[in-house]
Amino acid sequence: MAAKIGHLKLFGYALTFVLRHRFEKKKEVKMPEMDDDGQFTEELTEEQLEELFDSTYEWREWELGFWYKRYQVVGSRNFHKPKEWNNNLVYEHMLGINLLWCKAWMTIQKGAMILGDK
């Protein structure tokens, strides 16, 4: 997927900005073969299912509006001790806007463990 993503660290907060638009170049997804009953002839991998879902449903619905979500995520303190994760939860906040031709959102975290962070 071709999304514009930006990262910023400011005063101990990790901010992530994402912009998606309806006119992104889509990756061609080969539809799996089906039998006469409408069942797939071979088992699909999780990656194939994700590609198929993203290519057909991402922009199927027309949405308009602002939204807010809050998640509890594992903090970076004592991350190497999985048994302590219940005592180390922090909040991640997401603010977004859906327009007819694009979607944009911002994620705000403080103290969350970000895997793959460089």
* 10-23 tens-digit pLDDT: 898 888 998 888 77
Residue 35 belongs to what domain range?
Answer: 26-58
- How far is residue 33 from each of residues 37, 38, 41, measured CA to CA in Å? 12, 9, 6
Largest CA distance in the chain: 59
Cβ-based neighbour number of residue 75 at 10 Å: 19
User: Is residue 78 located within the same domain as residue 117?
Assistant: yes
| Judgement on whether residues 78 and 93 belong to the same structural domain of the protein | yes
Q: Percent of the chain, pLDDT > 90?
A: 17
Report whether pLDDT(118) > 50.
no
Question: Is pLDDT above 60 for 117?
Answer: no
Residue 44 has pLDDT above 60, yes or no: yes
- What is this structure's pTM? 0.63
Model confidence at 107, in pLDDT bands (50, 70, 90)? very high
Predicted local distance difference test score (pLDDT) of residue 93: 94
* Burial annotation 26-36 (CB, 10 A radius, 16+ → b, else e): eeeeeeeeeee
Number of compact structural domains in the chain: 2
